Amino acid sequence: MFNKIIRIVKKIGPYQESPIKDYIMLKHRSTFLTIKPRKKYLDITFFLPDTSIDFPIFNSRRTSRHRVTHVARFESADDISDLVADWISQSYSITGS
C-alpha cells in the first residue's frame, strides 16, 4: 500500500519525505500527505478544499477557510483508487500554493 501511494506521489511532482516515529510526512512546500502504516491497515491524512465523505474517508474536519483535513484508511492496495490519487494531487496543489 505504501509503495502504491509513493508511485502516485512521484507522478505528481517533487516532494520530500520526513519520517517521524510512527508516520511519514510528505512535503512539497508544506506537508500535503501523512502516511501512518499499521499492522493491518494504512491511514493517510490529506487536504481538500471541501468536505468529502467518499469511501475510504472516515474522518474530516475544516482546518481553515480553504482546507479540510481528511483521513482515509486502506486495508489493501486495491482500496487505493484513481479517486484517491486525485485527492493526493489536490492536496499537493492546495499546500503548494
Rounded distance between C-alpha atoms, residue 78 and residue 60, angstroms: 22
pLDDT in tens, 10-20: 999 999 999 99
Show me where the domains of the chain are located. 2-96
Of 3.90.1150, 1.10.357, 3.40.50, 1.10.3470, the CATH number of 2-96 is 3.90.1150
- Write the DSSP symbol of residue 94: H
Residue pair 66/94 in contact by the 8 Å Cβ criterion: yes
Residue whose C-alpha is closest to residue 94's, from 60, 71, 63: 63
**In the chain, pLDDT over 70 holds for what percent of residues?**
99
Residue 54 has pLDDT above 90, yes or no: no
CB atoms under 10 Å from CB of 43, counted, come to: 17
Q: Hey, which residues does 26 pair with through a beta bridge? A: 17, 33
